[in-house]
Amino acid sequence: MGKYDTYVEQCTAHFKALLEEQLEREDRMEADDEKKDFANLDHIVIGFCGGDGIGPVITAESRRLVEFLLKDDIASGKVELKDIDGLTIENRLAVGKAIPDDVLAELKTCDVIMKGPTTTPTGGTMESANVAMRRELDLYANVRPTKVPSEDIDWIFFRENTEGEYVLGSKGVEVPDKLAFDFKVTTKAGTERICRAAFEYAKNNGKDYVAIVTKANIMKKTDGNFTKIAHEVAKDYPDIKAEDWFIDIMTANLVNPARRSQFQVFVMPNLYGDIITDEAAQIQGGVGTAGSGNLGDKYCMFEAIHGSAPRMIEEGRGKYANPCSMFKASEMMLRHIGYIEKADKLAKALEICNDTERKYVITGRDGGATCEEFGNYVMETVSSL
Ligand code: IPM
Ligand code: MG
């Protein structure tokens, strides 16, 4: 017996189980072709799920905004708003689950969900609620737009959202004080559907360039397959240029004024998308300015891309939290469920409130506008359009 035999056996058995689980997941994806047409539902349920830290403050504000914008269809019963409580770090730790069962059941009664940020414990085995929700509701396309009109920047990122580095992120193995392994998984069906989402978006929105961003020179199997599959999908879109980029140089090019305005649509594996969309959000003015759509074929979830800022609550500054990320997420949600005109108006109002007029400015502190004041300002501005 070698001195590591027990670990080798344990880890091999662990890997076998993961491999079987992932093969089954891929089979399920391939077999499933049910798709909801979110823009043409007769009845639509929008759930609001506050989360942790400043989450409940900014989510409540986005609920007020959505209620205001959709008041007629809410009155007629076409749209139903629902509050979902219980996705808090305290509850999650108490039941030892990233999403408590009763909360998950409630989420599944909605068509679309507006979610505030949730706190993710570092280390340990508790999975991020975000990651769990994306998996449980199969929200495979994380769509993150970045716009800086003055710099001619109009980007949209399609980040694969259910696999890659994340799907087994809490299921790595470790030989204590020796080594640790995590796993990254790229499936054919999982890659095909995110790439198709990116190319379809390009086709339907007058874009003719999709950048496929990987590190396929190093991650030869997972990223190698990602780019190979992306190019296969690209063959169905002959008018769109599909080009390979490595994540490192793409990260540099996003801050290269000579190159960056040429980019339009990006598609990439999960972790690269996580990192580069924070960079993009910073270029736009900070993570507080960015909304994010998590799109699946049966459910969709829209959220802020920033964290729960627990310090703001600890320091009693919760009411000064900036709701703009949730407002952007609301705009994306409205667009996705077919309220294009209302979404356009909201986008215009946000531009006026944040960039051109700035009658109320959020600073995150006493002296700046409160979340509620800013919400009122946005609603008044929408009404004036
Ligand atoms: C994001 C966040 C999440 C992620 C965290 C909170 C798990 O950073 O939505 O980008 O890593 O995906
Ligand atoms: Mg992130």
Task: Give the tens place of pLDDT for each residue, 33-49.
Answer: 899 999 999 999 999 99
Q: How many CB atoms lie within 10 A of CB 287?
A: 18
Q: If pLDDT is split at 50, 70 and 90, which confidence band does 80 have? A: very high
Kindly give the residue spans of alpha helices, DSSP state H, lying in 70-123: 71-75, 89-95, 101-107
Q: What is the pLDDT of residue 170?
A: 83
Ligand 1 center to residue 117 CA distance, Å? 9
Ligand 2 center to residue 278 CA distance, Å? 6
Task: Give the tens place of pLDDT for each residue, 185-240.
Answer: 999 999 999 999 999 999 999 999 999 999 999 999 999 999 999 999 999 999 99
> Which atom of ligand 1 has the smallest separation from the CA of 142?
9
Does the CB atom of residue 304 touch ligand 1 within 6 A?
Answer: no
Q: Among all chains, which residue has been given the structure tokens 């769509």?
A: 143
Does the CB atom of residue 170 touch ligand 1 within 6 A?
Answer: no
DSSP class of residue 368 equals B
Evaluate if residue 85 carries a pLDDT over 70: yes
Percent of the chain whose pLDDT exceeds 90: 91
Does the CB atom of residue 261 touch ligand 1 within 6 A?
Answer: no
Widest pairwise Cα distance in the chain: 78
> Which atom of ligand 1 has the smallest separation from the CA of 270?
12
Torsion of CA 260, 265, 267, 273, to 10 degrees: 50
Task: Give the tens place of pLDDT for each residue, 238-250.
Answer: 999 999 999 999 9
Does the CB atom of residue 52 touch ligand 1 within 6 A?
Answer: no
Ligand 1 center to residue 235 CA distance, Å? 31
Q: Give the ligand with the smallest distance to the CA of 160.
A: 1
Q: What is the pLDDT of residue 6?
A: 93
Q: Give the ligand with the smallest distance to the CA of 161.
A: 1
- Which residue's alpha carbon is nearest to atom 4 within ligand 1? 274
186 to each of 23, 147, 277, 293, 344, how far by Cα in Å? Answer: 11, 30, 20, 21, 36
Average pLDDT value over all residues in the chain: 95
Query: Residue 21 carries which side chain, given as an amino acid letter?
Result: E
153 half-sphere exposure, CB direction, 13 A CA radius:
22
Does the CB atom of residue 79 touch ligand 1 within 6 A?
Answer: no
> Which atom of ligand 1 has the smallest separation from the CA of 303?
9
Q: Is 142 helix (H, G, I), strand (E, B) or coil?
A: strand
Mean pLDDT of 144-162: 96
Ligand 2 center to residue 245 CA distance, Å? 20
Ligand 2 center to residue 185 CA distance, Å? 19
Mean pLDDT of 58-83: 98
Q: Is 133 helix (H, G, I), strand (E, B) or coil?
A: helix
- Which residue's alpha carbon is nearest to atom 10 within ligand 1? 274
Distance CA 135, CA 102 (A): 17
Closest CA to 288 of 315, 306, 275: 306
Q: What is the pLDDT of residue 237?
A: 98
Distance CA 109, CA 115 (A): 15
Ligand 2 center to residue 295 CA distance, Å? 16
Q: Is 251 helix (H, G, I), strand (E, B) or coil?
A: helix
Q: Among all chains, which residue has been given the structure tokens 């970045």?
A: 146
- Which residue's alpha carbon is nearest to atom 11 within ligand 1? 274
Does the CB atom of residue 305 touch ligand 1 within 6 A?
Answer: yes
Task: Give the tens place of pLDDT for each residue, 278-320.
Answer: 999 999 988 888 889 999 999 999 999 889 999 999 999 999 9
Does the CB atom of residue 197 touch ligand 1 within 6 A?
Answer: no
Q: Is residue 330 within a helix (H) or strand (E), and if so which, with residue range?
A: helix 324-336
Using a CB cutoff of 8 Å and minimum separation of 24, what contacts does 278-284 make? 278/305, 279/251, 279/254, 279/255, 280/144, 280/146, 280/155, 280/157, 280/254, 281/144, 281/146, 281/305, 283/146, 283/148, 283/151, 283/153, 283/254, 283/255, 284/146, 284/147, 284/148, 284/153
- Which residue's alpha carbon is nearest to atom 8 within ligand 1? 274
Mean pLDDT of 57-81: 98
- Which residue's alpha carbon is nearest to atom 3 within ligand 1? 130
Q: What is the pLDDT of residue 146?
A: 95
> Which atom of ligand 1 has the smallest separation from the CA of 292?
9
Ligand 1 center to residue 116 CA distance, Å? 12
Q: What is the pLDDT of residue 1?
A: 65
Ligand 1 center to residue 310 CA distance, Å? 16
